[in-house]
């Protein structure tokens, strides 16, 4: 699964990003279709149950694309003016699984996209206009609010069709900290980490893996196939940009192997070409170099360029 790498959009770059960012709906949909194939869309896997095992389908990430922003999972609405939304969409336009989801879905996961580009997500009346006696957003006293209840309220609010509520706006409505069972809990940070799929989000319960003979046997089988994990995903665009080749190769394979795979699926009379990367700008001309030594792991985007004819 191609995954975005490198730094995201920093605070100092936000204004520049907002000026340069342009949403390309067709490109996002096209690349999501390819990413879904790599993520195993429609494939079944074996899921352990209390009675043995059963076939199950992969979960899908719901994604709604509006003219002025997106809904991912259960929200909140995220405007294209937000730097994090721009980074997410830019990752998809570049053909990569969004970097903000990589901690939560290390191997990628298919998207279920709803193309609503002709619709604008509109804002609802402010909270002050709701009639009736004021009530807490979640039940119980303030000292008993939990991240689970707040998360439920968050999902409920963000599903209101006409409510435009960014993640930061929602978090700012919450208390900075609450006290639960004698512990001070940082609600905003923990909920934000959970919603963004961070692996640093606190777990609601502890899990203990008990060592058994079956577990040992499984570990041994995994160790035998450890080398199978050294796989990179390459996206290679043709000279005219009209075709993209996606392939999975081992770290130990070479530029020469890459050429062989490409030549096998291209016209036999194709002119000589160079394999280059735009960032960093580099031409991979040594067929004996491995993909690992070239830094083309665990994923990379490459371009083909017609080799100039030698001077007469």
Residue 44 lies in a domain: yes
Strand 273-277 and strand 183-186: the pairing is unpaired
- What are the pLDDT digits (tens) for 119-149? 998 866 455 445 555 444 444 444 444 444 4
30 and 96 inside one domain: yes
Residue 293 host element (H or E):
none
Which range is least confidently modeled, 131-145, 162-176, 241-255, 295-309? Answer: 131-145
Considering the domain architecture, whether residues 112 and 182 belong to the same structural domain is answered as no
Give the three-class secondary structure for 85: helix
The H or E element containing residue 54 is: strand 52-57
pLDDT in tens, 202-248: 444 444 455 666 667 666 666 655 555 687 888 888 888 778 888 88
What local confidence, expressed as pLDDT, does residue 195 receive? 62
What is the CATH classification number for the domain harbouring 100? 3.30.420.210
In a domain, 64, yes or no: yes
Domain shared by 37 and 111, yes or no:
yes
- CATH number of the domain enclosing 239: 3.10.20.90
* pLDDT tens-digit readout, 239-259: 887 788 888 888 999 999 999
Instruction: Give the CA distances from residue 253 to residues 24, 213, 289, in Å, rounded to whole numbers and listed in that order.
Output: 34, 36, 8
The residue written with tokens 């336009």 in the block is 93
Cα torsion through 130, 131, 133, 139, rounded to 10? -40
Whole-number average pLDDT of the chain? 72
When divided into structural domains, the chain yields a total of 3
Q: Confirm whether 311 is domain-assigned.
A: no
For residues 275 and 258, the answer to whether their CB atoms sit within 8 Å is yes
Query: Is it the case that residue 306 has pLDDT exceeding 70?
Result: yes
Q: Report the first-to-last Cα separation within the chain, whole angstroms.
A: 44
Residue 266: its pLDDT value, please? 82
155 versus 58: the higher-pLDDT residue is 58
The answer to whether residues 274 and 305 touch, using CB atoms and an 8 Å cutoff, is yes
The count of C-alpha atoms lying within 13 angstroms of the C-alpha of 6, restricted to the half-sphere facing its C-beta, is 11
Full domain range(s) for residue 175: 137-151+163-195
Percent of the chain residues topping a pLDDT of 90:
21
Kindly state whether residue 123 falls inside one of the protein's structural domains. no
| pLDDT given at position 29 | 92
Q: Is residue 58 part of a domain?
A: yes
Q: Has residue 172 been placed in a domain? A: yes
Contact assessment for residue 40 and residue 55, using Cβ atoms and an 8 Å cutoff: no
Same domain, 106 and 15: yes
Q: Are 9 and 87 in contact (CB under 8 A)?
A: yes
170: helix, strand or coil: helix
Do 146 and 94 fall within a single domain? Answer: no
Q: Are residues 24 and 106 in the same domain?
A: yes
For 3, residues 6+ apart whose C-beta sits below 8 A from its C-beta are 96, 97, 99, 102, 108, 298, 299
pTM score, whole prediction: 0.42
Q: What is the pLDDT of residue 148?
A: 46
Which are the contacts of 39, defined by CB distance < 8 A and separation ≥ 6? 1, 58, 97, 107, 108, 109, 110
């Amino acid at each position: 699964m191609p995954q975005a790498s490198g730094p995201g959009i920093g605070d100092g770059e936000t204004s520049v990003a907002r000026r340069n960012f342009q949403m390309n709906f067709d490109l996002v949909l096209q690349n999501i279709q390819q990413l879904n194939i790599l993520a195993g869309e429609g494939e079944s896997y074996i899921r352990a149950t209390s009675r043995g095992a059963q076939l199950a389908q992969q979960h899908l990430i719901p994604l709604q694309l509006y003219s002025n922003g997106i809904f991912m999972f259960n929200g909140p609405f995220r405007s294209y003016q937000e730097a994090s939304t721009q980074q997410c969409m830019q990752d998809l336009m570049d053909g990569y699984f969004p970097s903000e989801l990589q901690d939560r879905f290390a191997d990628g996961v298919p998207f279920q996209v709803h193309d609503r580009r002709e619709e604008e997500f509109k804002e609802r009346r402010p909270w002050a206009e709701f009639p009736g006696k004021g009530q807490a957003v979640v039940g119980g006293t303030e000292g008993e609010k939990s991240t689970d209840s707040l998360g439920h309220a968050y999902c409920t609010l963000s599903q209101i069709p006409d409510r435009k509520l960014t993640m930061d706006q929602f978090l700012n409505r919450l208390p900075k900290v609450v006290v639960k069972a004698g512990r001070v809990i940082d609600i905003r940070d923990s909920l934000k980490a959970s919603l963004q799929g961070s692996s640093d989000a606190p777990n609601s319960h502890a899990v203990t893996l008990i060592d058994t003979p079956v577990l040992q046997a499984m570990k041994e089988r995994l160790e035998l196939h450890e080398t199978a994990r050294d796989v990179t995903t390459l996206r290679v665009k043709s000279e005219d940009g009209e075709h993209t080749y996606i392939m999975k190769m081992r770290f130990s394979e070479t530029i020469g192997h890459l050429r062989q795979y490409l030549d096998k699926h291209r016209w036999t009379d194709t002119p000589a070409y160079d394999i280059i990367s735009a960032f960093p700008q580099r031409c991979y001309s040594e067929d004996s170099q491995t993909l690992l030594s070239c830094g083309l792991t665990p994923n990379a985007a490459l371009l083909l360029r017609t080799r100039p004819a030698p001077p007469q």
